[in-house]
């Protein structure tokens, strides 16, 4: 599994995941919206930690520095 995510891309995904967590725990989002955003945030966090995004692989996108 080759890395296909650059550091800027990783940081943006981590910030989005943290923002969703803050919105959830502060009570700003709930119900179905919280579940959907929670899943997306989890995927963002997981892909950031492993530096690999399967969707990028399928689309031929690579944001790492050459």
Q: What is the pLDDT of residue 59?
A: 96
Four-CA torsion 47, 13, 16, 42, nearest 10 degrees? 0
Q: What is the pLDDT of residue 21?
A: 97
Stated pTM of the model: 0.88
What pLDDT tens digit does each residue of the chain (66 aa) get? Answer: 789 999 999 999 999 999 999 999 999 999 999 999 999 999 999 999 999 999 999 999 999 987
Q: Quick check: 51 and 3 in contact, CB under 8 A?
A: yes
Q: What is the pLDDT of residue 65?
A: 86
């Amino acid at each position: 599994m080759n890395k296909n995510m650059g550091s800027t891309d990783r940081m943006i995904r981590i910030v989005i995941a943290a923002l969703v967590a803050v919105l959830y725990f502060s009570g700003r989002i709930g119900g179905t919206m919280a579940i959907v955003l929670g899943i997306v945030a989890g995927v963002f966090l997981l892909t950031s930690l492993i530096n690999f995004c399967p969707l990028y692989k399928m689309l031929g996108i690579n944001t790492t520095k050459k």
